[in-house]
Amino acid sequence: NNIHSNKKVVWKRTKTELWYLISQVVDNEILVNTKKVKAEIMPKVFVYEDDKEFVKDDFKSLHKPANASDIDHLLDIIRPAKSSKKRS
């Protein structure tokens, strides 16, 4: 983590929710992660509310959060619209 914490996004929810968000962003190709190593993204971009740094190992063995639908709704908002082809 070479980015100082004041340049990172403060995450106020659980690490499970963060893991799910990043997983969906990568899986839906909203963010292209050529390495497919999602746990490497989170510590580089996010920090806990109390400025505590996330660690890659924080994201082992996590499961889909109970409120996944809230995150899915956010993804629907930020997901790029698929281009519609005009019919002639």
For the entire predicted model, the pTM comes to: 0.69
Strand ranges in 13-75 using DSSP code E only, listed in sequence order? 46-48
pLDDT band of residue 69 (cuts 50, 70, 90) is very high
Strand ranges in 2-81 using DSSP code E only, listed in sequence order? 9-11, 46-48
**Structure confidence at residue 60 (pLDDT):** 84
**Structure confidence at residue 20 (pLDDT):** 93
Could you report the per-residue pLDDT of 4-44, keeping only the tens digit for each? 556 888 999 999 999 999 888 888 888 776 666 777 888 88
What whole-number distance in Å separates Cα of residue 75 and Cα of residue 55? 24
